[in-house]
Structure 1
Amino acid sequence: MKAAQIVAADGRNPTVDNVREALGSTGSKSTIAPLLKRWKEQFQSAGAPKTESGLPAELMEAMRGVYHKQQRDVAQQLEQAMQENRTELNTALEKLKKTESERLKLTEIRAALTQELRATQHALEQLKEEHHFRAVTLATLHSDNAGLTQRLSDRGEEIAALNRQLAQVRSQFDHYQEASAIQRSEERQAAQQRESRLEQENAQLQQRLQGQQATLVQQDGRLTQLQDEHGRMAVAANADRVALAALRPERDQFEYQYLQAAASADALLAKLETAMQALGDTKIALATQDRQLDMQAEQAKLSLLREQQITQERDALLREHAVLLAQAEVRAARKTDR
């Protein structure tokens, strides 16, 4: 009957279908039809009691019930929406805490990488100083080698002069055999003395050459150490690159989670913007570290080229040393023949 009054108050015909729709599409038509017929007989023929507003009391009661039901539904929906909002807010706070923790971890990792980079730079500076020292040493050896070569050339000229003098003495020997016997003896003594001095000088030269050989052996050992250090530095640079590559997926995940937290909690926009600024600084720092690692790799390549140049110069010194030894052996053989 209340549903029929509501349908009539809306200006519609209170049919069975309209009343069933007002009841929420429930109820059997065979049950609704006789009750609706009874209502029409009681209220439409005789007239229903009216309230002060001119509407029937049952209609007003039905309207109050509908109004209260709507208020309860709205309050329930509002409470449900507030509960969902609180749940989303708590979820956003948890995500923000997790994001802040990950940001602190990334900061610690960046500090560790910065410290390792400083250590690598210090090692590279030491390597540069050692390369400079080796270059100065090699220049000194080149200078000594040039001096030894010049002295050997001077000794060769002296030996050639002695040979010419001996040839002149022999040419005059037939004519002045008796008169030049004493003079020849003196000249022989002088020649022996000169040969003795030359032998002493040759011995000194051989000692110098032996010293150069020892220096070259030491330089070979130092070169091996530098190559080992270069290998270790290359391995460290590769490890740094692998660590940075491992950090990039975490950084991407951090950005994704950060954007989700920003979309789900507009009230936390200020904190999220601060975190995004920190993430940008982290990206810049990582990019700077990538460039520094590339520069280290380039410097390592330059060091390798310098080591190859040093090796070539050492081989040249060894060849010059072999030539000097061969010349000394030839000169000693000529003295033995005389």
Structure 2
Amino acid sequence: MARAGLYHSDVKKARDALLAQGRHPSVDAVRVALGNTGSKTTIHKYLKELEAEEGSIDGRKVSISDALQDIVTRLAARLHDEANERVSVIEAVSAQKDQAHAVNLAALQQDLASLEEQLRQARERVEEMGRMHVVTDVRLQEEAISRHIAQQQVADLQERLAENEVHRQSLEEKHTHARNSLEHYRQSVKEQRDQDLRRHEQQLQQVQAELRQQQHTLIQKQEESTRLNQEAARLVTALSQAEKSLYDEQTAGRRLTEQLAASQSAAHQVEVILAQVASNERLIEALGDQLVQAAAQIEVQSNQSRTLEAALGTAQATLVSQQDTIRELSGLHSRAEHHGTL
């Protein structure tokens, strides 16, 4: 990298080093000794100053031949420097021309590649057009055959059209007969529908009558349920009494059995009591069966009662809601009257 500045002393040291090596201190040699830094013009100026300084100091002692040799040496150095400068300029111009030629060559190669690609595409299009031309000829022949077939089909269709016209006239006649038959059928269906409507009204009246009968039967069932509940309560009371009697009789039987061990004369009485106990047990079993039947009937009636209670609950809820609504409306009416009075 070039230095920021070049001094007179730097050029003098480089020139003296070259002279000590026995080399000619040309501008290029001094610049190389300085590390390829500094302008050639500046180096050349400093060298001239050094030569002038040395010439003024030793001018009297230098002979004519030495002066001529010095002049020739300086002229040779100057010619060498000018030649180097011209060579540098020519090299720069040549490098620029080479670069421009390279750019032009690359552009020409790219254009050549583009033209080759266009030529290839054009050849492909020509080949494709040839193939399309062959396909077009084939299609043209097929179209001619298809047109001939279509003309034949048109002639066939015209014949069929004439046949269809005859068939259509026949269908119109049949349609007229069918329409008359349909009108007659509609009239009969209307009469049948009227009869069915009257019969349906009669059936509806019968169903309403049966509904009223069912409602009456439900009321009777409710009354019967109440009676069965009362009967069940009575049977439960009787069963409790029978169980108490059985317990008492069992207690008496145990006592009689104890007395039987002490007295054989009480055996007949024990047998009689035992027979009574067995009779009471059969009675209790019969009462138990009746109680089971009553419980089943009570369960059925309870289900019906729960259904009725649910309906009653719904009706009561509706009644409460309506009462609340009535109270709200009454309150609103009262407040409206109060505000109206104010």
For normalisation by structure 2, the TM-score amounts to: 0.29
For normalisation by structure 1, the TM-score amounts to: 0.29
Relative contact order, higher structure (CA 8 A, sep 6+): 1
